Amino acid sequence: MAMTLERLAEFGAAWRDKDLDRLMEFMTDDCVFQASVGVEPGTTFRGPAEVRRGFELMLAYDAGSESQGGTAFIAGDRGAGRWSYVRTDEGGRVHRVDGCDLFEFDGDRIRVKDAYRRVHGDIGHAPADRS
């Protein structure tokens, strides 16, 4: 069975719901998550335990922001999806982070999630010691 846009949308919904157990159901046993923040730039997590930890860190990093989905496409065993986070600070200023994920699939599961982000405003900047 191949990855479908519907299944990829379910992964996005699990991300917005911050459901780590459900997120990990989409990942392969040899999964890799290349985060959009951290060292390298962007910390790389390998294997289910590390990827789960990376997902948990990213969800905590973007806490307080509203997750918004975007468009996606699949071409064979590769795909991409756009996303954004929006937050309004105490002064009423709106801060936005736009990003995309590049995916590699193994059937209907995700082997690689490689994330990139563009920051508008002051959120999304990670200190060097933060993943």
pLDDT tens-digit series, residues 42-72: 899 999 999 999 999 999 988 888 888 789 9
* In-domain check, residue 105: yes
- State how far the Cα of 31 lies from the Cα of 121, in Å rounded to an integer: 32
Residue 109 lies in a domain: yes
- Find tokens 């962007």 and name the residue: 42
- Categorize the per-residue pLDDT at 92 as very low, low, confident or very high, splitting at 50, 70 and 90: confident
**Band (127; pLDDT cuts 50, 70, 90):** very low
Number of helices (H) and strands (E) in the chain: give both, helices first: 3, 7
- Return the closest-CA partner of residue 97 out of 127, 65, 72, 49: 65
Domain presence at residue 126: no
User: pTM, whole model, 2 decimals?
Assistant: 0.86
Across the range 69-84, mean pLDDT stands at 95
Of 20-34, 61-75, 113-127, give the lowest mean pLDDT range. 113-127
**pLDDT for residue 131 is more than 60:** no
Range of the domain at 79: 5-120
Give a yes or no: residue 86 inside a domain. yes
Q: State the virtual CA torsion across 94, 62, 32, 126 in degrees, nearest 10.
A: 80
Are 108 and 120 in contact, with CB atoms under 8 Å apart? no
65 within domain boundaries: yes
Q: Is residue 125 part of a domain?
A: no
Q: 44 in a domain, yes or no?
A: yes
User: Of 107, 88, 86, 105, nearest to 96 (Cα)?
Assistant: 86
The per-residue pLDDT for 38 is: 82
The total domain count for the chain is 1
Report the CATH number at residue 85. 3.10.450.50
Contacts of 59 (CB under 8 A, 6+ apart): 15, 18, 20
131 assigned to some structural domain: no
